[in-house]
Amino acid sequence: MKRENRILIHAPNLSTPGGKQTYFSSLLDHFESDIEFFFYGSQDEKETKLRVLIRLFKDYWNFYRLLRNYDYSLVHLNPSLNVKSFFRDSIFAAICTLTKTKMIVFWHGWQWAFERKTVRNMLIWFRMTYGKADSMLVLAKEFGDQLKVYGYCKPVYQVTTVADPMFFDLESKYENRTVDKFKSKSLTFLFLSRIEKVKGIYEVLESFELLKKEYATITLKVAGTGGELKAVQKYIEDKELQGVELLGWITGEEKIKAFSESDVYLLPSYGEGLPCSVLEAMAAGLPVITTEVGGIKDFFKDEVMGYLVKMKDPVDLSDKIRRIIDSPDNIGTMGRYNIEYARKRFTPQNVGSELERIYTETIKD
């Protein structure tokens, strides 16, 4: 028998690193609907091409059988607009259409270079797969505007990602803290993301190398894993950078500790949807230095929440970091503002409630 609002969420395994995993892990305890997950993708980092193909066919077949055998109110797909996700997940969208199952598509990432080179030349395929969705979710206004250009006429909702609930249980780092540490210019900077070139990791390292000559006591924490991790380790060794700590992929108390021990969050990314790490940094009371990309540009207040920097520009990044170091009073002012802003908009309760409201509207339409 069909239960009211029975939702199947198609997502990567929540025990693996990634923004989608962080998003759904944070919302798990805040759903009122009957939620089930279909986990796709590798459970092992090392796969041959043959194993990848076999796994893909198994995922498609298992997904098809699931939709044929169970009556779901809605399937929630979570693609990104990049070469791997766009084509892989379009087949899952086609299966939803084949089985006459309602679907909502949540675009988590959006690579404009891929969109210009590929998607615009494949609009027929887009319309045959994702274009059949009953509604779509986006993290930035510009993504929704582009969907309309594609000819998508059904509801498009702009939503936000979420900060891990553990950040809202933290005592404000400014309650019993003076600005003495900030005035001493012994600041700790945090970069937490996938370790990839497109996330701006090399701009962070170049800026840190430059500023370390001026401010000997600053330190940098780098958290995450990814394809550039070994190259980043080599870069640090070759440059003999002092004061850089590589934390690897961290969760739970380790993650809380990294944010609590840091003073400023850095993410000079080349492109984003709306990274959970930025919201978590705000919830933890850190000023944020980031680029004006994706959903960040729709809410971020430059010189209030932190600073916006030019993409692929380590000099501009250095200048903004220098402004933070040389204006210690601003750290507390920005940090307190970010805590209040995050509590009003990025809690799992608020984000989960809005998502379920959209589920209900999509199912009823």
| Structural domain includes residue 47 | yes
One domain for residues 25 and 145? yes
Integer Cα distance of 308 and 140 in angstroms:
17
Please tell me whether residues 151 and 253 are part of one structural domain.
no
Distance CA 337, CA 354 (A): 23
Cα–Cα distance measured from residue 48 to residue 46, given in angstroms and rounded to the nearest whole number: 7
Whether 137 and 273 share a structural domain: no
Q: Is 290:267 a contact under the CB 8 Å cutoff?
A: yes
| Closest by CA position to 277, among listed 148, 167, 365 | 167
Say whether both 119 and 42 belong to one domain.
yes
**Same domain flag for 116 and 174:** no
Between residues 181 and 149, which one has the greater pLDDT? 149
- Give the rounded distance of the alpha carbon of 32 from its chain centre: 24
Same domain? For 111 and 236 the reply is no
Answer whether residue 2 shows pLDDT above 60: no
What confidence tens digit (pLDDT) does each residue in 5-35 have?
899 999 999 988 888 999 999 999 999 889 9
**Rounded Cα–Cα distance for residues 335 and 337 (Å):** 5
123 lies in the same domain as 65: yes
CB atoms within 10 A of CB 62: 12
**Total number of domains constituting the chain:** 2
The span from the CA of 115 to the CA of 106, in Å, is 16
- Tell me if 207 is assigned to some domain: yes
Average pLDDT, the chain: 93
Provide the whole-model pTM: 0.89
358 and 250 in one domain?
A: no
Annotate 250-299 with DSSP letters as a single string. --HHHHHHHHHT-SEEEE--S--S--HHHHHHHHTT--EEEES-TTHHHH
- Please report the pLDDT score of residue 3 as a whole number: 47
Same domain, yes or no: 185 and 216: yes
Q: Do both 108 and 237 map to the same domain?
A: no
Domain containing 314 equals: 165-345
**Residue 268 is part of a domain; what is its CATH number?**
3.40.50.2000
Task: Supply φ then ψ for residue 266, to 5 degrees.
Answer: -120, 130
Tens of pLDDT, residues 200-222: 999 999 999 999 999 999 999 99
Q: Report if residue 154 sits inside a domain.
A: yes
Separation of first and last alpha carbons in the chain? 21
For residues 187 and 252, membership in a common domain is answered with yes
**Are 211 and 321 in a shared domain?**
yes
Read off the DSSP letter of residue 131. Answer: G
Residue 1 lies in a domain: no
Condensed to tens digits (0 to 9), the pLDDT of residues 44-92 reads 556 788 988 999 999 999 999 999 999 999 999 999 999 999 999 999 9
> What average pLDDT does this structure show over 347-364?
96
The pLDDT > 70 percentage for the chain reads 95
| More confident of the two residues 244 and 50 | 244
At residue 175, does pLDDT exceed 90? Answer: no
